[in-house]
Chain A
Amino acid sequence: MTDRTDDDALEGAGIDVSRRGFLRTASLAAGGAALGGAAAAQETPDPLITDVQDWASATGEGVDATPYGLPIRFEGDVVRRTVSWLTADPISSINFTPIHALDGTITPAGCAFERHHSGAIELSKDDYRLMITGLVDRPLVFTWEDLQRFPRENHVYFCECAANSGMEWGGAQLNGAQFTHGMIHNMEYSGIPLRVLLEEAGVQPEGQWIYVEGADASSNGRSMPIEKAMDDVLVALTANGEALRKEHGYPVRLVVPGWEGNMWVKWLRRIGVTHSAVEAREETSKYTDLMPDGRARKWTWAMDAKSVITSPSPQKPITHGTGPLVITGLAWSGRGAVTRVDVSLDGGVNWQEARIGTQGGKYALSRFYLEIDWDGSPMLLQSRATDDTGYVQPTKDALREIRGLNSVYHNNGIQTWAVYENGAVENVEVGS
């Protein structure tokens, strides 16, 4: 484990068997007999029904037991997970949202993924300051109290790391939707349009870019065209109804709808209005996408249309046998709203349109479902999102044909899950 470095690892597109994790030979080989079909006859009465259970007799917890609760202990599976070999240390690193276990579209903040470059810092509202500098009529300092007094808006948006699925460029590598697609969360934000704060300072005509940076040691400075800043960027004060979690930028983060997660600067402390892009580390060394000719794309801000089936998936095998099966997943686009999702059971040869459960708005997750009657045959499950620009999610091979294997970021290729006869599910790639 000596040659994978920091973000290079996180970005590592290729398969490298020298860096494998723990051997898990038992998992899929062990298999499991599929249980009987639906509505099977019950021969003896169920004691969970015929016996009086404790919870139907004694009392539960009082209302003062849990001022702020956590999920019930049986949901211990629904947690963030890390992949330790991805990065040199856990400080500048990533973890993954358990999307395999969630439904609907709103991500619970407590298990929503984290990506830090110098750790999750603790910054109180009292200590918080936001500065606007540069090509403005009046450079300003705001306190947290000041920010409370600006008009606010509410919006639901996804935040997807540019490196989400990046480890899959070279082939199927990590076995689970949490790991292949879990650098994402989707929250309802309340916040101040960045435009309002910029207007308070008065942007000068030559101010064509902004540079945003955080209060942490990494600073995570990024440049953004003034048009985006004046359009829909939010200075967010809450997420999912409450203050931001420490690890998500408490007390203030930037929300940049549709654009790569790196630009969602946390612990936001300064907005500089500049004549041109700063070309900081996070937009030169990182978050640039190497192409086959040895040159690299820069400023690949938008996250293209993408989807993934969250169940069944490797962490959500089919344990109930044949018969009715709910196939469900998430779809999103950084260029607009998802308009449809198609699902294939045979690796992309034939498709059927899925049903949209929650229709996400622009730059928000949508939930889709396809209910089938599973006969126990192996399947190659895929989902394919279309957005309101008419863009149809491409296959990984279609992306590789253009970008090669080393672009690191922006892998929105179609995911395939192999479902085996025993209900186990595996991350695979397919070809004819």
Chain B
Amino acid sequence: AAAQTLNLGRTALPEEIAAWDVAVEPDGTGLPVGSGDVLTGEDLWVENCAMCHGDFGEGAGAYPVIAGGEGTLRDRRPVKTVGSYWPYLSTVWDYVHRSMPFGNAQILSADETYALTAYILYSNGIVEDDFVLSNENFTEVPMPNAEGFYADDRVETEFPLFTAEACMADCGPAVHITRRATDLQSTPEGAVTVF
């Protein structure tokens, strides 16, 4: 903090910081005072969210699935939702408040965001339908996959394997083709030269 400075810029005012610094951290830091219940959240959800995410968070069209997928994380096709995958409730509140609805972000009040978050919890089977979420009880809500993450360990688990001296000749038996991209026909037409 004692570095040479140029005295450029000006001090940010409290109102300015409050307008832009709306991030919420896992321990609840940044949460405003407020509350909302599941049924209020359901009304807001139907009005603002269900057209993309489905009435129960099951997803519509190709838009993200918000609820369900419990126990699928080891499946060939895992369904990663708030209930099955997300570690922290703070992220739900923060992301919905700051960036949703898609195309019309930052329209939700604090109370509305609490209510929507309560509805998302309900749709994931985490709380009952009479649940009221507030800044007071926020960090007590159990998130099923809270322990599901660990910090990058590639330096321990991969580097020792991949820093061996590379083989240059006769590195194994002859190989043959096992998968072909053209079997899938999923590349945009016209991108690959036809001749």
Which A residues form the contact surface with B (CB < 8 A)?
1-9, 14-15, 17, 19-28, 30-32, 81-85, 87-89, 91-92, 117-118, 131-134, 137-143, 146, 149-150, 171-176, 178-179, 199-200, 202-205, 211, 213, 217-219, 221, 269-270, 272, 274, 276-281, 284-285, 288, 290, 292-302, 304, 314-317, 319, 342, 346-352, 380, 384, 386, 389-394, 398, 402, 405-406, 418, 423-424, 426-432
Q: Identify which of B41-49, B59-67, B108-116, B120-128 touches chain A.
A: B59-67
* Given A179-B187, A389-B163, A294-B179 contact (CB < 8 Å): no
B140-182 at interface with A (beta carbon < 8 Å): 148-154, 157-159, 161-182
In the complex, what residues of A have CB within 8 A of residue B10's CB?
Answer: 140-141
Interface of A is mostly: loop
A204 to B62, Cβ gap below 8 A?
no
B177 to A418, Cβ gap below 8 A?
yes
* A315 to B189 alpha-carbon distance, docked (Å): 11
* A32 to B194 alpha-carbon distance, docked (Å): 9
A281 to B95, Cβ gap below 8 A?
yes
How many interface residues does chain B have, given as a range?
Answer: 35 or more
Which of B9, B11, B26, B91 has the most C-beta atoms of chain A within 10 angstroms of its own C-beta?
B9
In the complex, what residues of A have CB within 8 A of residue B159's CB?
Answer: 389, 391
Residue of A nearest to B64 (CB): A5
* A81 to B192 alpha-carbon distance, docked (Å): 11
* Given A140-B11, A199-B5, A300-B154, A279-B20 contact (CB < 8 Å): no
B192 to A172, Cβ gap below 8 A?
no
* A1 to B91 alpha-carbon distance, docked (Å): 28
In the complex, what residues of B have CB within 8 A of residue A205's CB?
Answer: 1
In the complex, what residues of B have CB within 8 A of residue A304's CB?
Answer: 154, 158
Which of B11, B62, B105, B163 has the most C-beta atoms of chain A within 10 angstroms of its own C-beta?
B62
* A278 to B185 alpha-carbon distance, docked (Å): 41
A178: min CB distance to chain B, Å: 7
A230: min CB distance to chain B, Å: 10
Q: Identify which of B31-39, B82-90, B131-139 touches chain A.
A: B82-90
* A140 to B5 alpha-carbon distance, docked (Å): 13
Partner of A284, one of B11, B16, B59, B88: B88
In the complex, what residues of B have CB within 8 A of residue A5's CB?
Answer: 59, 62-65
* Given A278-B25, A391-B159, A2-B5 contact (CB < 8 Å): no
A142: min CB distance to chain B, Å: 4
B189 to A173, Cβ gap below 8 A?
no
* A290 to B87 alpha-carbon distance, docked (Å): 13
B172 to A349, Cβ gap below 8 A?
yes
A35: min CB distance to chain B, Å: 11
Closest 8 CB pairs of A and B: A88-B62, A427-B181, A199-B3, A294-B73, A347-B175, A217-B105, A139-B12, A429-B179
B188 to A21, Cβ gap below 8 A?
yes
